[in-house]
Structure 1
Amino acid sequence: MKKMLILELICCLAFAKAVTAQQPNSVSQITGQELLNKVIAFHDPANKWPSFKGTFTILLESPKMQPRKSTVTLNLPEEYFKLVENRNGKISTKEVSEECCILSDKDMPPTKTALDDDVCKRALMLKNYYTYLYGLPMKLRDPGTIINPIVLIKNFKGKEYLTLRVTYNEEVGSDNWEFYFNPKTYAMEAYRFFKGDDRSTGEYILLTGLKVINGIKMPENRAWYYNKDNGYLGTDKLIH
């Protein structure tokens, strides 16, 4: 009888361990929207982002290419974007306004094109790219963003985070995102995205340091890695 009780106890402990292994993440009491509000209050305490007008410079360092310096100008109320890129002395400029694009580089004079022109597509893509990345986490309030109401307490790269899972309406995008926030300060410290449900696709980004640009606390360094093999891609450094 005693042996049977011991055997049953061992089986129960083994089952409990198996269940724990299948559910490695616990759930926070805070909701997704509540977490987002706290995070934005940390990064944009005076609600400056909707009326943001400013210029900042980013240095990209990558093992596979020469350094690139990018100076970005954003005027959100007027929907204006300007990007000046300098790589090894070769300078190119892209401007996007509400009416048109203006493109130029070292070897050609400025060219003005309509927004729906093919040559303007990359300029528009870069406008969306820089506005999204340097507007995070505030951009998570944009229409079409789906915030998962359940916040996970998750270990990522050796640190415990409040984890916000985000998807988008079909017309906005198909990537799945996870954002990792410091549970004490609510600072955004990492994020990653996947192509659909395949978690070996996409990339993750580790954030270090903060710089205040026009009242907004932006991550100073963004180090990019592949999800599939942790391969290092490069680091964007916010200079000023």
Structure 2
Amino acid sequence: MRKLLLLLVCPLLLSAQTPADQILAKAKAYHDPQDIWPTLETTFTFKETRPDGPDRSTIIILDNGISYMKINRNDEEVYEVNGEVAEVLKGDKDKARALVLRNYYLYLWGLPMKLYDKSTPEISLAEDEKVGDKLCKVLRVVYEEDTWYFYIDDFSGRMLQYKFYKDEATGKGELITLEDEIMVDGIKIPQERSWYTLPEMKYLGTDILEEVD
């Protein structure tokens, strides 16, 4: 009887998913098949390069299970965030800065898993596009201040790039390309992110995940 119920329920669950849900599930199955991200505990070391300035080293100590992050940027800015409570340990910035940086690193380095957050607006499918020679399904998310597009390899489910527009009418925004991957406790995280302005495609810099402990 239990097997019969499962056979009846599973098709219903699958049919309840929207096409965008199915693509997001495929991306998550590629990047985080064991659902590790919500409880991930690790230390990231980044090298952040900019064409008009020196490289920056950033160390992130992360424990998603208790919503904790410690951020050390070049040993000039150091913050600790527990839930929504932030502390400035070093530097002349305020606590709001700590929360902005926490959200920045969690979102960008936690994609595509972060799209499962309850706060994520409705996800829809945009038109298919190619990234290089790979056909991608494109997820579209409209936030209050910007609109994001996420490019998912239609064959593997790998996230290949994303972009956002502050104003779609003018095409003003940024494109972030992804290169290589690093395995973090079973999660495939893109290792290099390069930033370009839209529509000019002016290079802004590259963030590289150099080490994971």
Please state which band the TM-score falls in when normalised by the shorter chain: 0.7 to 0.9
Could you tell me how far 1:151 is from its partner in structure 2? 4.9
The question of 1:216 aligning with 2:195 is answered no
Aligned-partner Cα distance in 2 for 1:58–1:49: 18
Contact 1:199–1:227, Cα closer than 8 Å, also in 2: no
1:56 to 44, 51, 57: 44
The question of 1:67 aligning with 2:69 is answered no
Could you tell me how far 1:73 is from its partner in structure 2? 1.2
Aligned-partner Cα distance in 1 for 2:136–2:76: 40
The question of 1:135 aligning with 2:82 is answered no
Aligned to 2:95: 120
> How many matched pairs?
194
Which stretch shows the higher mean deviation, 228-237 or 192-201? Answer: 192-201
Could you tell me how far 1:157 is from its partner in structure 2? 5.8
Contact 1:56–1:213, Cα closer than 8 Å, also in 2: no
Change (3 A) 1:100 1:31: closer
Could you tell me how far 1:65 is from its partner in structure 2? 1.0
SS in 2 for 1:146: coil
Larger radius of gyration: 1
Aligned runs of 1:20-35 on 2, under 5 Å? Answer: 31-35=19-23
Q: Which amino acid aligns with 1:236?
A: D
Structure 1: which 5+ runs fail to align? 1-29, 109-117
Aligned-partner Cα distance in 1 for 2:59–2:43: 7
2:65 to 66, 77, 82: 77
Aligned to 2:128: 153
1:190 to 161, 174, 198: 161
1:180 to 151, 165, 168: 151
Aligned-partner Cα distance in 1 for 2:100–2:197: 21
Aligned to 2:204: 233
Aligned-partner Cα distance in 2 for 1:199–1:218: 32
Q: Which amino acid aligns with 1:73?
A: I
Could you tell me how far 1:99 is from its partner in structure 2? 7.0
SS in 2 for 1:131: helix
Change (3 A) 1:158 1:229: farther
SS in 2 for 1:66: strand
Aligned runs of 1:32-51 on 2, under 5 Å? Answer: 32-51=20-39
Change (3 A) 1:199 1:35: farther
Aligned-partner Cα distance in 2 for 1:148–1:188: 15
Contact 1:33–1:147, Cα closer than 8 Å, also in 2: no
Q: Which amino acid aligns with 1:101?
A: A
Aligned-partner Cα distance in 2 for 1:201–1:157: 22
CA-to-partner distance for each residue in 1:18-43, whole Å, 9 max, x for gaps?
Answer: xxxxxxxxxxxx81100000100100
Aligned-partner Cα distance in 2 for 1:224–1:149: 24
TM-score between the two structures when normalised by the length of structure 2: 0.83
Could you tell me how far 1:198 is from its partner in structure 2? 2.9
Contact 2:179–2:193, Cα closer than 8 Å, also in 1: yes
